[in-house]
A and B are shown apart, each in its own frame.
Chain A
Amino acid sequence: MTASAREILVMGLPKAGKTTFIAALWHVISTKEIPSELQMAELQPSRDHLNAIAKRWRECVAVERTIHGKDRKVSLNLQTADGSKVFRLTLPDTSGEVFTRIFENRRWATSFGETVDSSDALIFFLHPDSLVVPQRIDDGVEEAVHVMETVESSGQETSPQKTSNFVPWEASRASAQAKILDLLQLVIRARKSRALRIVIIVSAWDLLKHKRISPDKWLAEKAPLVWQFLNANKEKRPYIVYGISAQGDDYSKANTLREFIKPSERIRVVSEQESSSDITKPLVWALE
């Protein structure tokens, strides 16, 4: 059977979990230690980067983030579990700083533009800690007044700190959701009216598991602008939100994580419908 060449554009701001995801993905498909919807069809010739990052993942040591200027394209030979479809999948493992600079400098390399154009789908990573909701000063004032009243009523002294140094505007001061929205819009516009399947991966989902909220609802709550944009455009650009813990938990609990007989089982992949350890599910959805 001839493998069809497929490419997925991988994006995300710094520390969004892109490399950790790829490390865990390579472990799952190369070891075949748990059932997964996509499996390795055959070993690809170049594996040094994948093996290096997967080694750190297995050791429960933080995977080194992709350094700006050492961006790579990872190629994987995959097939569906029933063997009916074979893919040669390319995933660019690009430094998050690159996307920060694209947002701030308003330009990308011609070769990146070609990748945008040729990709079948987009996976956008975001880390929950990066989504700081901007607070208006009037909201903050109300909150501060409330805190001061509470402190005063308890008889304690207080000396409110006033901030006086206005920090001038630059693009880097935009809210996190505006940056994500803008990057998504740039890709969509560059592809003109062509369809695109979009996977949003909320990484480090273990940080949010206690909230008992679906990844889609979490996105609607924390990045309403992005969520509305995705919803409003979903006919031509269907999207799905996954919450993924590729590490399994914080590495401060590495000793517990290392007790997993099958490391693949520490992965959590959560969507609106289901929860499993199969990290290939987002790829399957993207490649439909």
Chain B
Amino acid sequence: MGDVETQSSRRCVEPGCTFDSDGVCLEGFPGAKGCPYKSQPSEGEASESTTGPDAPSDGWVLLPDGYELSLEATADITRATEAKVIVVAGESAAGKTTLVTCIFEQISEGVYAGQQFAGSDTVLAFERACYPSRIASEAEQPETERTKRLIPRFFHLQLKNEAGKLTDLLLTDMSGEVYRRVVDNQENATSLGGFIRRADFFVLLLDGKRLASKELRQDGFRRGLLLLEALLQAQVLSKMCPVRVLIAKYDLLVPEQDNENTVKFIEYVEAEYKKFGTEHFSDFKVSRISSRPKENSSLDYGFGVEPLFSEWVTADRPELNVDFLVDVKELPNERESINYLWRQLGRQKE
């Protein structure tokens, strides 16, 4: 069984977070107040003298936190199963997390793309990501909280198809700021690390909102191409890795909503990406999605997402001779994590 820890232990348990030494919360919570990785004493806890599973006299067993997995924690999955790593890339507000929440919301309602939900190590991470777009949050508009983290974390889904085959999906969750830095500086591309080398799919989202703006669209379009070029040049992204470029927020670009010029521009963007992709990658596609169409859109929730998701789960894995853990050793300040408890509690290897 897992570690036993006493009441006095209220340190930050997020790998890579330096809060305990310098007071800076990796998750961006001021003073770590409200940060799920920093356990806080609950009201009256100190005087509690009851007995029972959550107020013991015999010590605690810490449980996996249920939030996004570190690279170290994913190693458990990648070694136990044929996990697929889906790198979801794109600059800030491109819709990366919204895409992930869309998938979780869809499978939360039933079998999705022929795949049955078989488990997840990151249920709370999904719930947290979905929360701002739910009525329970009392937000006026559906939102997605921006990912702030600069080191990769992963959402996890285990899926089972009709034939009984299990597939683990690991979807990256990393700030768009990282990709902005890669576009602007080749050193950042080189140091981004091997989690991209390990990708079974590299998914690049282009922000449809920027493409809809005549002022911003050229930059938005070109920076995506630069990102691919930078990663190729740094040999971080393999030519053999399947690449999917997604025109995200397509609800803002559908013909009836916009003028002919925008339609022509989108066709031009797609043609330019296809031209680049055909020259540099063995498997390259461009498609249009709208994970969460705006109110009154003619598009359904999750437009274009189901075929993508299906492909991620069902495609054969390319032969990639890369050890996922290589990068783990390079991560600064990486230490024992609560996520390790998944291992201690015994991952099912079936």
Contact = CB atoms under 8 A, between A and B. Distances in A.
A72 B126 CA distance: 34
Contacts of A181: 123
Residue picked from B109, B136, B350, most chain A C-beta under 10 Å: B136
A13 B58 CA distance: 23
Contact of A109 (B42, B54, B116): B54
A142 interface: yes
A178 B104 CA distance: 11
A175 interface: yes
A171 B36 contact: yes
A106 B142 CA distance: 28
Interface string B1-14: 11011000000000
Contacts of B59: 109-110
Interface stretch (B45-53, B253-261, B267-275): B45-53
A155 interface: no
Interface stretch (B62-70, B84-92, B195-203, B329-337): B62-70
B348 interface: yes
Interface in A214-252: 220, 224-225, 228-229, 231-233, 236
Interface string A133-152: 01111101110010000000
A95 interface: yes
B138 A108 contact: no
A110 B61 contact: yes
Contacts, number: 203
A168 B109 CA distance: 24
Interface in B301-350: 301, 338, 342, 345-350
Given A112-B54, A115-B53, A173-B127, 7 more contacts: A108-B63, A134-B136, A137-B141, A163-B139, A166-B139, A174-B124, A188-B348
Interface string B136-153: 111111100100000000
B118 A137 contact: no
Interface stretch (A28-36, A46-54, A190-198): A190-198
B108 A224 contact: yes
B131 A111 contact: no
A113 interface: yes
B60 interface: yes
Top 3 A-B pairs, shortest CB-CB distance:
A69-B50, A109-B56, A192-B346
B31 interface: no
Interface in A267-286: none
B1 A117 contact: yes
B292 interface: yes
B54 A102 contact: yes
Interface of B: 1-2, 4-5, 34, 36, 39, 42, 48-56, 58-66, 105, 107-111, 116-120, 123-124, 126-128, 130-142, 145, 158, 160, 166, 292-293, 295-296, 301, 338, 342, 345-350
Interface string A98-140: 1101100111111111010100000000000000001111101
B135 A106 contact: no
Given A108-B60, A113-B61, A136-B105, A71 B137 contact: no
A169 B54 contact: no
A164 interface: yes
A166 B137 contact: yes
Nearest to B34: A168
Contacts of B293: 138
A167 interface: yes
Given A169-B128, A173-B131, A107 B5 contact: yes
A170 B33 CA distance: 11
Given A71-B51, A106-B65, A236-B350, A178 B127 contact: yes
A106 B55 contact: no
Contact of A138 (B60, B62, B301, B338): B301
Contacts of A115: 53
A212 interface: no
B255 to A, nearest CB: 22
A184 B245 CA distance: 37
Interface size on A, as a range, is 35 or more
B167 to A, nearest CB: 11
B61 to A, nearest CB: 5
B347 A189 contact: yes
A98 B110 contact: no
Given A102-B54, A107-B63, A228-B111, A136 B119 contact: no
B53 A102 contact: yes
B108 A101 contact: no
Contacts of B105: 136
A182 interface: yes
B53 A164 contact: no
Given A173-B136, A232-B116, A113 B348 contact: no
A5 interface: no
Contact of A110 (B60, B108, B160): B60
Given A192-B348, A228-B117, A138 B136 contact: no
Given A109-B55, A112-B53, A138 B119 contact: no
Contact of B139 (A68, A95, A137, A224): A137
A165 to B, nearest CB: 6
Contacts of A69: 48-52, 55
A190 B123 contact: no
Contacts of A188: 348
B140 A71 contact: no
A181 B58 CA distance: 27
A31 B70 CA distance: 56
A108 B54 contact: yes
